[in-house]
Amino acid sequence: MALPPLVEPAAELTVDEIRRYSRHLIIPDVGMDGQKRLKNSKVLVVGAGGLGSPALLYLAAAGVGTLGIVDFDTVDESNLQRQIIHGVSDIDRPKAESAAASIAEVNPLVNVVIHNTALDRDNVKELFSQYDLIVDGTDNFATRYMVNDAAVLLGKPYVWGSIYRFDGQASVFWEEHGPCYRCLYPEPPPPGMVPSCAEGGVLGVLCASIGSIQVNEAIKLLTGIGEPLVGRLMVYDALEMEYRKIKVRKDPNCALCGENPTVTDLLEDYEDFCGAVSAEAEEATLNATITARELKDWQDSGKDLFLVDVREPAEWEINRIPGATLIPKGEILSGEALSRFPQDRQIVLHCKSGVRSAEALAAIKAAGFKDAVHLQGGIVSWVNTIDPSQPSY
């Protein structure tokens, strides 16, 4: 389904612009008309991270006239494996500022608007309404649902992408012409079921594969060329080197864009909707959570601890708390590893940040180990407060 261009053409291109964009201008489908539309376009990229890095660089190079960047985070060394818009000298700098500086180097003709803030229910609609198109490079379900809801409520199209290890997905959601994200995924996954890239990892170059698909779709929508990914989900498997397209239909029962919507405005709390941890885990951690300092004090006092690291072996290779035993969460939830837990020692569980250990704690308590506790903030908190000499990730 071809769609009309999103943006009207700018009046003219300058001599500089004609020189710079000549390889676009000689493609008949883009031509002078398409390049003028790009010049007149306003695109907001949500997140200057894994997907946002290649997306911003290519949108800028392509000549999108106004590029908004919304990101509240600062550049960390562990970002540089994939977030190619940032460099070593940008570490600790706000990502939105760092990205803007790189864009100025690639294409100073682009008007960059920095939104150095967290996207939230109070600013999302106002921000989106200033742009023609949104490119969603967020990495968490709460923001993803909020981006979708705001876009549908405003009637804005957006290009969505997601990445995990070797797998990527992309689509264009535009309520007027096809399904929305909630038609595809009506409910967020149960808390703890889908690890984030911070917990599960991502192949750096996968960001370029999916981010460039997002830019490709953005350019098609802005200039009205080709067949946009509306109503289709692109699924990429980097290990098999396989792209598949799956049809996605508008769901007449969609809570947001269906015939009898139950979601008619932004939700009060998207974190709550997506749930950081399950209800069982939340209950299990009540009065059963210790800090890194408390754990250190227990160790120093010679308390008989059975300290269990519930992360995966690859994470255990990176860092570990002295005295810990590795028993991955899956072996605890399946019951397979329960026989390894002693009845007469203080059980302490930890993971990277405290989410997986909370899930494991619920299973351990259900198995009868009523005094078990977990470490708040996981090994991240341990490294930050007790042992900064260890690497973090």
Candidates 180, 207, 257, 351; catalytic one: 351
Q: Is 172 an interacting residue with respect to Zn ion (CB under 5 A)?
A: no
Catalogue the E-assigned strands of the chain. Answer: 42-46, 66-70, 111-115, 133-136, 158-164, 167-173, 232-237, 242-247, 289-290, 305-309, 325-326, 346-350, 373-375
Range 277-312 burial, b when 16+ CB lie within 10 A, else e:
bbebbeebbeebbbebeebbebbeeeeebbbbbbbb
Question: Which of 180, 197, 254, 274 does the annotation list as catalytic?
Answer: 197
CA distances from 373 to 283, 325, 342 (A): 12, 15, 14
Contact region for Zn ion (CB under 5 A) — 44-52, 172-180, 210-218, 234-242? 172-180
Our CB check for Zn ion shows the closer of 264 and 301 to be 264
| Residue with the CB atom nearest Zn ion in the bound state | 254
User: Which of residues 260 and 339 has its CB atom nearest to Zn ion in the complex?
Assistant: 260
Residue closer to Zn ion by CB (options 145, 341) is: 145
Question: Which among 217, 250, 221 has a CA at the least distance from the CA of 234?
Answer: 217
Sequence-distant (6+) residues with CB within 8 A of 73 are 49, 94, 95
Min CB(182)–Zn ion separation in Å: 4
Q: How far is the CB of 254 from Zn ion (least distance, A)?
A: 3
**Rounded least distance, CB 329 to Zn ion, Å:** 33
Cβ-based nearer residue to Zn ion, 189 or 323? 189
Number of amino acids touching Zn ion (CB under 5 A): 6
- CA-wise closest residue to 81 among 50, 122, 35: 50
Q: Tell me, yes or no, if 180 is annotated catalytic.
A: no
Say if residue 213 is exposed, middle or buried (CB neighbours under 10 Å; 0-12, 13-18, 19+): buried
Please, which residue, 60 or 146, has the CB nearer to Zn ion?
Answer: 146
* Consecutive H or E run containing 329: helix 329-333
Nearest distance from C-beta of residue 246 to Zn ion, angstroms: 16
Decide: is 184 part of the binding site for Zn ion (CB under 5 A).
Answer: no
CB of 320 to Zn ion, least distance (A): 44
Q: How many CB atoms within 10 Å of residue 244?
A: 10
Show contacts with Zn ion in window 66-95 (CB under 5 A). none
- The whole-angstrom separation of Cα 60 and Cα 237 is 27
Options 51, 135, 180, 349; binder of Zn ion; rule CB under 5 A:
180
**Least distance between Zn ion and beta carbon 185 (Å):** 10
197 as an active site residue: the answer is: yes
Site for Zn ion in 201-260 (CB under 5 A): 254, 256-257
Place of tokens 């769901």: 251
* Sheet of 42-46, strand order: 111-115, 66-70, 42-46, 133-136, 158-164, 167-173, 232-237, 242-247
Q: In the complex with Zn ion, which residue's Cβ is closer, 72 or 185?
A: 185
Q: Which of 55, 150, 183, 274 binds Zn ion (CB under 5 A)?
A: 183
Q: Does 182 bind Zn ion (CB under 5 A)?
A: yes
Q: Draw the binding track, 255-284, toward Zn ion (x: CB under 5 A; -: no contact).
A: -xx---------------------------
User: Among all residues, which ones are annotated catalytic?
Assistant: 197, 351
Residues at the interface with Zn ion (CB under 5 A): 180, 182-183, 254, 256-257
